[in-house]
Structure formats: structure tokens, C-alpha cells
């Protein structure tokens, strides 16, 4: 069934909006995916702030061009769905990798685009091994808290040493007075 010109323009606009609000995409080929499996993938991605959309390749390529993204024509072949990272592509890549493991023969990552550069299927796995934004935040917080707690410990130690010196002085004064 043919898509009307208005619907095509609507889809290109929708894809463009999603591209404008994401840091990167993963292009995945799907096959034999039931509606339940697609819903499960979308649910898992939603938990990390990512989204999934089945796209029409030619219209998605137009949206990529309009948004100034590279167009990986070799990846936009066959039935593909797009995972939009929405600010947390490593977490989305982890979800995709886990889904591929949980539901073999349903989905396979073909590659994607991040920071204006295309990447292949092997690099999706490397991205999946990167820390998520939450993990990076936790690491940074740990780096900030550790020196602060060390400074607090030093100040407490210095304070107690000053108190000990004063107490020793007072004890000496009492001995001298007695």
C-alpha cells in the first residue's frame, strides 16, 4: 500500500525531531519479531530513556540528510529499526545487546551513528561496554567525595591534636601549680 506524500512528509518530520533530540542512534535489523517482543524492547529502552522506531529507510535517509547527519546507506537496507539514545547511547546499546542475547534471531545491531561518525556492529558492542551516564556521575561523585572526606579527616585529626596539646599544657600548668 502506497504512503501519501503528506504522510511521507510527516514521517520525515517525526524522524527529524527524534534525531534533533538524540546523541546517537543504533540501526538494528529485525526479523521474526512479534508485537510482544517489539513492546518488550521498547519497554526496556524506555527504562534508560531511549526509544525505538521502525522506519522507512528512504524517508529516514532524507531525515538524516536534513539534520546534517551522515547517511550510512549500507546500514539502511532491509527491515531496520532505529534505537535513539536520547542522551545515553551506551545504556541503549547495553539494552540492545541484552535483548539480542535474550531473543536470538529477532534483532541484530548493524551499526549506527554517534557524534557525526558511523560505526559498525562490532563497535555497538564496544559502546555497550562504555559506562552509562549514571555510572559516570557516580564515579565523578566518588572522585569529589573522596578528597572532601580526606580533608574532613585531616581537619578532625588536626583539631584533636590541638586539643591534646592544650590539654597537655593545662595538665603541666596544674602540676606546676600544685
Cβ neighbours of residue 18 closer than 8 Å, sequence gap 6 or more = 51, 53, 82, 84
Strands 24-30 and 51-54: unpaired
Fold of 5-130: Alpha-Beta Plaits (3.30.70)
Contact residues for 127 (Cβ-Cβ < 8 A; gap 6+): 89, 90, 93, 112, 114, 119
pLDDT for 27 equals 95
Domain spans in the chain, listed from the N-terminal domain onward:
5-130, 131-178
Block mean pLDDT (10 aa), the chain, length 178: 87 94 93 90 95 94 94 92 91 92 89 87 81 76 70 65 69 73
Amino acid at each position: 500500500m502506497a504512503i501519501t506524500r503528506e504522510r511521507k512528509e510527516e514521517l520525515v518530520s517525526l524522524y527529524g525531531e527524534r534525531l534533533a533530540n538524540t546523541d546517537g542512534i543504533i540501526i538494528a535489523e529485525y526479523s521474526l519479531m512479534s508485537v510482544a517482543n517489539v513492546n518488550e524492547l521498547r519497554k526496556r529502552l524506555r527504562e534508560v530513556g531511549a526509544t525505538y522506531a521502525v522506519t522507512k529507510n528512504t524517508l529516514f535517509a532524507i531525515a538524516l540528510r536534513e539534520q546534517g547527519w551522515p547517511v550510512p546507506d549500507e546500514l539502511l537496507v532491509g527491515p531496520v529499526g532505529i534505537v535513539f539514545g536520547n542522551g545515553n547511547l551506551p545504556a541503549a546499546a547495553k539494552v540492545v545487546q541484552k535483548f539480542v542475547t535474550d531473543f536470538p534471531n529477532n534483532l541484530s545491531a548493524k551499526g549506527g551513528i554517534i557524534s557525526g561518525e558511523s560505526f559498525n556492529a562490532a563497535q555497538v558492542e564496544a559502546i555497550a561496554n562504555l559506562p552509562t551516564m549514571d555510572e559516570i556521575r557516580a564515579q565523578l561523585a566518588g572522585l569529589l567525595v573522596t578528597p572532601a572526606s580526606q580533608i574532613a579527616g585531616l581537619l578532625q585529626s588536626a583539631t584533636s591534636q590541638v586539643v591534646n596539646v592544650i590539654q597537655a599544657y593545662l595538665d603541666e600548668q596544674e602540676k606546676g601549680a600544685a
